[in-house]
Structure 1
């Protein structure tokens, strides 16, 4: 992973210390890149920033930008801030995402639109904004998708549709960008121990029961941790994966192969 040294890595959805975005940034510190981290809430992003500094990242190698990826102007400001500070961009990790647990008949169109704007439209637009800079550096994009993009689960139609779209976008953009030397890949986690389920509406008791059920459905016998996904993202971000593009890497303990 030595190829990550001094690279500029932008990670969305990094404002939650228990999430995949923060875990990825903290894992990457050892390889010496510079970071642009973004999240919606200043206080949450500051916590992650403090963790980064405590782990040895100098302030001049870390940029924290409060931004909502569903707002075009925020995305434009995010990219401008990154370029103004570091004059380059090497890796973009689309990690921001939300879910909701309602069957189709009970899903409001407002909820549907919010999931689509966050999980699919935001990576599409941010990619458009970043591609000119990634072409210059022959950089790469890593999309954080889900097993739900390839498997069918009830009561999460907007989420599954958005992730299926993100998977297809990964492949399309990879083919479009190959001539420029820009790679585009995806990680597709199974159930990972983050806050996304509770944010999507699960109660604490429902979450405990959900985790116990999911352990049985992951052939390796457990759910994943954010660091498991962070390691895969780091690999795809580095030149260790220099001949990989358009790929979906499942980080799910074998869940995508499970028959049920």
Structure 2
């Protein structure tokens, strides 16, 4: 092979990969994406991941100072997000999220149901913990999806809900939380079945432990948090705890056209935690 031919071939390959990267970077160009619980953790990581891909964002949360910081980070990729201070457990706030997004952008293409609440509470604990989690994790998610669906039908968009691996495994100390996440799995299946003929996809991501402040906000001390996570890590098949960015990448994939034939599905990102520990060992 002559040096000139070799150079042209390398140049073509280089251009191919450059074009592929650029296409990936702008994968959500002109797509309007609502992300709830976007002020920290998985929601913040989702916001930055979609921002890098060119999305037009509505970022939603209760902590407006944190949201503003997230918005600044996202704006570095080109588009300044719409910041909406809202609590999805409040019906009027749910109306505001959809109304403000459509007024600002004119449409909705993707809804990322990420907002959630965790309380360390089992069967014999105060029912008020359960009521609070139902209000956010189930009712709030249901209402926001319901309000967004007419716009998603129009855009042939999709919903990605952040559930949890504990929807399918036994963790008595967070029984109430597990019940709410199991309800989200049922929501995903039923909504995907109902909306599929209308061109709307609905999927769920089921993380295991993720390095966020969710458990600290639930009442665990920093020391307890580290201890519990280490205990869980050692029981996982891969011995790895996910980062928020790992979950965000999966969410973005499911929301993208690359997943155009995927609906009603659940995707574990838990280091194999859902596999449990074998009873019979070699």
Instruction: Report the TM range for the smaller structure's normalisation.
Output: over 0.9
Q: Structure 1: how far apart are the matches of 2:122 and 2:128? A: 14
Contact 1:214–1:222 at 8 Å: present in 2 too? no
Name which of 116, 131, 146 aligns with 1:97: 116
Deviations 1:87-112 (A, max 9, x none): 0000000000111112221x212211
Alignment of structure 1 residues 14-163 onto 2, 5 Å: 14-16=38-40, 19-53=41-75, 55-59=76-80, 62-105=81-124, 107-163=125-181
Q: Structure 1: how far apart are the matches of 2:63 and 2:246? A: 25
1:13 aligns with 2:34: no
Unpaired stretches in structure 1, ≥5 consecutive residues: none
Larger RCO (alpha carbons 8 Å, 6+ apart): 1
Secondary structure of the residue aligned to 2:57 is strand
Structure 1 residue runs of 4 or more that deviate by more than 6 Å after TM superposition: none
TM-score where L is the length of structure 2: 0.88
Deviations 1:96-149 (A, max 9, x none): 0111112221x2122110001111111111011000000000000000000011
> How many residues were matched structurally?
254
TM-score where L is the length of structure 1: 0.95
1:239 aligns with 2:242: no
RMSD over aligned Cα atoms: 1.1
Q: 1:47 deviation in Å?
A: 1.4
Q: 1:3 deviation in Å?
A: 4.1
Contact 2:109–2:152 at 8 Å: present in 1 too? yes
Q: Structure 2: how far apart are the matches of 1:127 and 1:37? A: 15
Q: 1:45 deviation in Å?
A: 1.0
